[in-house]
């Protein structure tokens, strides 16, 4: 049996008095796609950000490939700066608002990290980046600056920038939430194709249909704990009352939004 790619045990994180993660444990095998859903403020982003230690937990244990951390501050296995860098080069992260670097072209955004951090020769880095950009359909934009791209294009470049490091794990934090509705699809298609190629992925999402169709497992976060977890089927047949309520609310919102859109259209027509 191969060991899991990533395992987290009893992760706790507070901001001052506010305990945001109250002991979260999770094991992820290579090739798994884990979707994380939950209400705003339930700790989804904080959890994802603890996995690559953008937020360092107050306590908890983590294993990722050859790395083992104990996040208690006095621990012998508290991660060093070098270990954190090593972790982050292997765990790519994509954010809600892309965060492309505006002073670099699309191509420069993609090759910057591989050249500097993996010491890949520039020529080879450019070849690999060109292949990635062709794959996401943005090869023609390689010389453009990010401000000239649509949100969906920027987000695809951000994904390519992370993929250029050949990560073992990808973390996606609501990567379609900032996008205009008509641009969401192109990003979801890219993520689905990554999933089908066996990329290990953890994604926080509000796209329930996407979570249902693409993931191998769904986690429902509620007030800093995993309140329900299971196969995507739990989205159809939730067990806990909280998940039922959450799904009901989301569904209700979608109906409200749809009818609002409809009535503005009618308003325009009349």
Partner 1 sequence: MTFVLEEFQLYGPGFLQAAWTVFALTILTIVVSWACGLLAALAQRSRLKSVRAVAGFYIWFIRGTPTLIQIFIIYFGLPQFGIRLSPFTAGVLALGINSGAYIAEIVRGGLTAIPSGQSESALALGFSRSETMRTIILPQVFRIILPAVTNEAISTLKNTSLLSTITVVELTLYAQTLIAATFRPFEFYIAVAVIYLVLTTVLTLLASWLERHYARLS
Point out which residues bind ligand ATP (CB under 6 A). Answer: 15, 18, 20, 38, 40-46
135's contact among partner 1, ligand ATP, Mg ion, none, with CB below 5 to 8 A by partner kind, is: none
- Binding string, 113-132, against partner 1, x = CB under 8 A? x--xx---------------
Nearer to ligand ATP, 16 or 181 (CB): 16
- Enumerate the β-bridge partners of residue 49: none
**Among 7, 97, 216, 223, which residue sits at the site for partner 1 (rule: CB under 8 A)?**
97
99's contact among partner 1, ligand ATP, Mg ion, none, with CB below 5 to 8 A by partner kind, is: partner 1
- Enumerate the β-bridge partners of residue 6: 28, 64
- What span, in angstroms and rounded, lies between the C-alpha atoms of 122 and 143? 16
The region that residue 192 occupies, defined by phi over 0 for left and psi between -120 and 50 for alpha, beta otherwise, is: alpha
Ranges within 34-93 binding Mg ion (CB under 5 A): 45
Contact criterion met (CB below 8 Å) for 177 and 98: no
86's contact among Mg ion, ligand ATP, partner 1, none, with CB below 5 to 8 A by partner kind, is: partner 1
Q: What's the half-sphere exposure (Cβ side, CA atoms, 13 Å) at 257?
A: 7
- What span, in angstroms and rounded, lies between the C-alpha atoms of 37 and 54? 20
Name the strand (E) or helix (H) holding 62.
strand 59-64
Q: Is 166 among the residues that bind partner 1 (CB under 8 A)? A: no
Q: How far is CA 30 from the centre of its chain?
A: 16
Residues whose CB falls within 8 Å of the CB of residue 132, separated by 6 or more in sequence, listed in order:
110, 160, 163, 164
Give the number of residues in contact with Mg ion, rule: CB under 5 A: 1
CA torsion, points 227, 253, 232, 50, in degrees to nearest 10?
Answer: -50
From the CB of 70, what's the least distance to partner 1, in Å? 21
Candidates 8, 33, 12, 32; CA nearest to 21 is: 12
Q: Is 52 among the residues that bind partner 1 (CB under 8 A)? A: yes
**Structure-block tokens of residue 216:** 């191998």
- Enumerate the β-bridge partners of residue 24: 11
**Among 158, 191, 199, 226, which residue sits at the site for partner 1 (rule: CB under 8 A)?**
158
41's contact among ligand ATP, Mg ion, partner 1, none, with CB below 5 to 8 A by partner kind, is: ligand ATP
**Among 14, 59, 86, 223, which residue sits at the site for partner 1 (rule: CB under 8 A)?**
86
Nearer to Mg ion, 50 or 109 (CB): 50
**Among 18, 40, 147, 270, which residue sits at the site for partner 1 (rule: CB under 8 A)?**
147
Q: Is 15 among the residues that bind partner 1 (CB under 8 A)? A: no
**Residue number with the shortest CB distance to Mg ion?**
45
- Give φ, ψ of 210 to 5 degrees: -65, -45
Nearer to Mg ion, 61 or 98 (CB): 98
Positions that interact with partner 1 (CB under 8 A): 52, 54, 81, 85-86, 88-89, 92-93, 95, 97, 99-103, 112-113, 116-117, 145, 147, 158, 161-162, 165
């Amino acid at each position: 049996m191969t060991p899991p790619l990533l395992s987290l045990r009893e992760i706790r994180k507070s901001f001052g008095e506010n305990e945001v993660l109250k002991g979260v444990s999770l094991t992820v095998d290579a090739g798994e796609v884990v979707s994380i859903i939950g209400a705003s403020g339930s700790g989804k982003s904080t959890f994802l950000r603890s996995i690559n230690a953008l937020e360092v937990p107050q306590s908890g244990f983590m294993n990722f490939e050859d790395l083992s951390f104990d996040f208690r501050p006095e621990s012998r296995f508290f991660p060093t700066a070098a270990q954190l860098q090593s972790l982050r080069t292997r765990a790519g992260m994509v954010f809600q608002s892309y965060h492309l670097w505006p002073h670099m072209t699309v191509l420069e955004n993609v090759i910057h990290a591989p050249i500097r951090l993996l010491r890949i020769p520039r020529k080879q880095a450019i070849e690999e980046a060109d292949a990635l950009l062709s794959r996401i359909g943005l090869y023609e934009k390689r010389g453009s600056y990010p401000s000239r791209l649509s949100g969906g294009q920027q987000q695809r470049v951000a994904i390519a920038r992370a993929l250029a490091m050949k990560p073992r794990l990808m973390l996606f934090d609501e990567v379609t939430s900032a996008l205009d509705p008509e641009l969401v699809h192109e990003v979801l298609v890219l993520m689905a194709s990554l999933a089908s190629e066996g990329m290990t992925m953890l994604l926080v999402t509000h796209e329930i249909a996407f979570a249902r169709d693409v993931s191998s497992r769904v986690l429902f976060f509620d007030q800093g704990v995993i309140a329900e977890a299971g196969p995507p089927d739990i989205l159809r047949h939730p067990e806990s009352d909280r998940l039922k309520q959450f799904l009901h609310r989301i569904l209700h919102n979608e109906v409200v939004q749809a009818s609002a859109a409809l009535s503005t259209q009618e308003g325009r027509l009349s």
